[in-house]
Amino acid sequence: MSVVFHEKSGEFHLFNDEISYIISILPNGQLGQLYYGKRLRDRESFEHLQEYGMRSMVAWVGGLGRRDVSLELLKQEYPSFGSSDFRNPAFEILQENGSHVSNFRYVSHEIISGKPGLSGLPATYTEAPEEADTIVFTLFDEVTQVELKLNYTVFRDYNAIARSAHFENKGSQTLKLNSAMSFSLDLPGTEYEWMQFSGAWAREREPFVKKIGSGVTSVESMRGCSSPNQNPFVVIRKPGTTEDCGEAYGVSLVYSGNFLAQAEGDTYGQTRVMIGINPRGFCWNLTPGEVFQTPEAVVVYSAQGLNGMSQNFHELYRTRLARGYWRDRERPVLLNNWEATYMDFDEEKILNIARKACEAGIELFVLDDGWFGKRNDDFRGLGDWFVNTDKLENGISGLSRKITEMGMRFGLWFEPEMVNEDSDLFRAHPDWILATPGREPSLGRNQCVLDFSRKVVVDAIYEMMEKVIADSDITYIKWDMNRSITECYSAAYAANQQGEIYHRYILGVYDLYERLITRFPEILFESCASGGARFDPGMLYYAPQAWCSDDTDAVERIGIQYGTSYCYPVSSVGAHVSVVPNHQILRETPLETRFNVAMFGAFGYELDITRMPEEEFEEVKKQVAFVKQYRKLIHTGTYYRLADPFATNEGAWMVVSQDQKEAIVMYSRILIHPNSPVKRLKLKGLNPDLEYRIEAPRKKEVSRCGDELMYAGLITTEPAIGDIGEAGADVYTDFYSKVYVLKAN
Ligand code: GLA
């Protein structure tokens, strides 16, 4: 991997073994985009890839004496507003005199081994300088006296480019930064498809595909969090791209607040793709000396289809975005009491569940909502992070010690960013919430949002949390966030700073995470936001796993986890076995299927294990042992999507070990049909020359070669319905699934 500067042509070639990204300096000093895609052989100039030409009715750049230089027609890196380009800009600066026009000209560049961090913001990182090269371009706008730094990192081992922008006002004008995207890329052609991941509470990240064509296609969040409705991740792909072949650009924002992802097909046959903080509701005061750093965007180019794209994101995000003690450690099998007890528990009830969980081999007990303040329902208590001794007479310290003595770890739920009006915290500090003067704040789940843009508020919450954690044996925290932000206004800031509050809020969240991680480096954090409302790369930097969805129904989860897998690694996907009928949708699914789906995640149970029939409990013991045996493979193996549950009656995926000697396949058939057709599932990523033993519950062990399994397929046909009950036959119902373990001889 390298960054090469061709002095004569003024071009920059960023490349690794697989990809090339080529930048030029345009005649007006701005940065132009020449190429991004499959690796090209390096040469002095690729200038011919930029098409200059005089066209009628375009505006050309002033002062150059050239009529063939119109920004409207040129592919650019970080386009500005208000000059000869009429497409959406990557940023916009408002001057004191009312002008919105800027022109950032190349001044210099610096090539750095490795990757510098971003202060206060989550970002991918390197562990050794040889893992990546970074080029930092310095550009300057004479009129506003603003310096712009554009950062690009090319990784050695991933087909990924990380980008961000940094503004600094070096002049004396008070400027306003009205928008500042993290990433903008002009691609040739408009024949692209757009893939977005949309949903709502309990049905997060369903893939949707549209044609881009001419005009703007976008998704965004204005909820103060990345949201369950849209994810800060989109795919731009060539028509015909499949899971296994074809070109795809995955565009991901390492940020947890409001965002905008957009593609604009222009009428000259180019497509501008961008992602960053949503400009709506955003305005940063760039006063003299002030800086603004955008969040980071990561873009992965794949010539090996969508699976190839996802695998790059998985590896990069699992190993160079997630951090800390738990990054590479096997995650504990947990039991969470939420669906078991909700808020109705006392110490005895909890200890009984924990004892039984321990007997099953479960390693971590998580006490969810309801342990603090007067929290007996969701109308009160949030903000009062001290134990309710009516429920837990020995406090969290006493309970956690008893559970630790059993041989299990103990984890605790917090919702640090929220407060109920019925709480001591709110009574003491009614002005600590986000609320617009003179208007009633909207409530969500009966709660208000604390003003995390204020250090005093973050400090107070830190102190309360720090005390509980320091006094107890806590090795895991579930950090929840259960409502969108409304009336985003801070009483502590001036009128002209209100456009900063959404972003300052998220910076406050990151700050609290960072402080807690620094103080308690061995705690495993799991982020949560009513399930998956803040399932984004920003959170992964602090919490290596996230509760994927409040929907624990196994069939729903096949889709949710399948959609989530387009960007996020299996190790980040919190997934639990819960009871039937399922609490969200009342469906009854076999225990085996609930397990088969949840094991492809950061695995646990969320049920009252003391109420389980004995034979199910025995099954659970086997499941826990199975996960312990295979979790490393499941979390670190290469993941392939095999069958799309949104398009068919089946859902399937698999992981393959790095050495291709082991693999685990999950195959599910949602609804049963009588006398069903023959089925074959073509496996992926195996070594064609190896012979694999295939183990599956209630199936005779067989051996098959890798080539046969990939090219002819694994036979998953069920016998005709009349065969049910025959010795050795499987149990066929709706919501059937099977896990196959493959081991090479
Ligand atoms: C949210 C979470 C759940 C649970 C409840 C507790 O809904 O997603 O897992 O923690 O809050 O109130």
Q: How far apart are CA 559 and CA 311, in angstroms?
A: 18
- Of all helices (H) and strands (E), which one includes residue 292? strand 291-293
Span from the CA of 531 to the centroid of ligand 1 (angstroms): 7
Span from the CA of 528 to the centroid of ligand 1 (angstroms): 8
Contact present, 204 and 232 (Cβ < 8 Å): no
Q: Which of 10-24, 46-60, 352-366 has the lowest mean pLDDT?
A: 46-60
Q: How far apart are CA 92 and CA 554, in angstroms?
A: 46
By most ligand atoms within 8 Å of CB, the mutation choice from 336, 368, 378 for ligand 1 is 368
Percentage of the chain beyond pLDDT 90 is 96
Please enumerate, as own/partner, the contacts of 129-134 that have beta carbons within 8 Å and a separation of 24 or more: 130/156, 131/155, 131/156, 131/157, 131/320, 132/1, 132/156, 133/1, 133/2, 133/3, 133/14, 134/3
pLDDT of residue 730: 63
**Annotated catalytic residue: which of 133, 480, 551, 553?**
480
By most ligand atoms within 8 Å of CB, the mutation choice from 375, 526, 548, 550 for ligand 1 is 550
Span from the CA of 369 to the centroid of ligand 1 (angstroms): 7
pLDDT, mean of residues 102-108: 97
Q: Cβ contacts of residue 16 below 8 Å, gap of 6+?
A: 1, 2, 39, 154, 155, 156, 157, 159
Which residue's CA lies nearest to atom 12 of ligand 1?
Answer: 369
Ligand 1 pocket residue status of 369, Cβ below 6 Å? yes
Atom in ligand 1 nearest the alpha carbon of residue 606: 9
pLDDT of residue 1: 74
Ligand 1 pocket residue status of 584, Cβ below 6 Å? no
Which residue's CA lies nearest to atom 3 of ligand 1?
Answer: 530
Nearest to 639 by CA among 310, 317, 319: 310
CA torsion angle 445 565 19 688 (round to 10): 170
Confidence of residue 727 (pLDDT cuts 50, 70, 90): very low
Ligand 1 pocket residue status of 547, Cβ below 6 Å? yes
**Annotated catalytic residue: which of 422, 536, 550, 551?**
550
Span from the CA of 77 to the centroid of ligand 1 (angstroms): 42
Span from the CA of 370 to the centroid of ligand 1 (angstroms): 10
Contact present, 571 and 635 (Cβ < 8 Å): yes
Span from the CA of 473 to the centroid of ligand 1 (angstroms): 22
pLDDT, mean of residues 361-369: 98
Which residue's CA lies nearest to atom 11 of ligand 1?
Answer: 530
Which residue's CA lies nearest to atom 7 of ligand 1?
Answer: 530
Confidence of residue 731 (pLDDT cuts 50, 70, 90): low
| Token reading at 402 | 């008893």
For residue 436, what are the β-bridge partners?
none
Ligand 1 pocket residue status of 338, Cβ below 6 Å? yes
Ligand 1 pocket residue status of 482, Cβ below 6 Å? yes
- Of all helices (H) and strands (E), which one includes residue 334? strand 334-336
Span from the CA of 482 to the centroid of ligand 1 (angstroms): 7
pLDDT, mean of residues 85-100: 98
pLDDT of residue 161: 98
Span from the CA of 612 to the centroid of ligand 1 (angstroms): 23
- As a three-state string, the secondary structure of 109-168 is EEEEECCCCCCCCCCCCCCCHHHEEEEEEEEEECCCCEEEEEEEEEECCCCEEEEEEEEE
* Tens-place pLDDT, residues 157-211: 999 999 999 999 999 999 999 999 999 999 999 999 999 999 999 999 999 999 9
pLDDT of residue 18: 97
Span from the CA of 151 to the centroid of ligand 1 (angstroms): 38
* Catalytic annotation present for 378: no
* DSSP line for 180-220: EEEEEEEEE-S--EEEEEE--TTS--EEEEEE--SEEEEEE
pLDDT of residue 721: 55
For residue 301, what are the β-bridge partners?
249
Ligand 1 pocket residue status of 528, Cβ below 6 Å? yes
Contact present, 174 and 289 (Cβ < 8 Å): no
Ligand 1 pocket residue status of 550, Cβ below 6 Å? yes
Ligand 1 pocket residue status of 368, Cβ below 6 Å? yes
pLDDT, mean of residues 537-547: 98
Ligand 1 pocket residue status of 414, Cβ below 6 Å? no
Per residue in 510-537, is it b (16+ CB within 10 Å) or e — as a string? bbbbeebbeebeebbbbbbbbbbbbbbb
Q: How far apart are CA 493 and CA 16, in angstroms?
A: 46
Nearest to 453 by CA among 422, 489, 487, 409: 489
Which residue's CA lies nearest to atom 8 of ligand 1?
Answer: 530
Which residue's CA lies nearest to atom 6 of ligand 1?
Answer: 369
pLDDT of residue 677: 82
pLDDT, mean of residues 413-435: 98
Q: Is 586 exposed, middle or buried (0-12, 13-18, 19+ CB in 10 A)?
A: exposed
Atom in ligand 1 nearest the alpha carbon of residue 531: 8
Confidence of residue 213 (pLDDT cuts 50, 70, 90): very high
pLDDT of residue 723: 52
Ligand 1 pocket residue status of 336, Cβ below 6 Å? no
Look over the chain and give the mean of its residue pLDDT values, rounded to a whole number: 96
For residue 260, what are the β-bridge partners?
220, 276
Confidence of residue 645 (pLDDT cuts 50, 70, 90): very high
pLDDT of residue 612: 97
Atom in ligand 1 nearest the alpha carbon of residue 530: 8
Is the pLDDT at 146 greater than 60? The verdict is yes
Contact present, 737 and 597 (Cβ < 8 Å): yes
* Catalytic annotation present for 550: yes
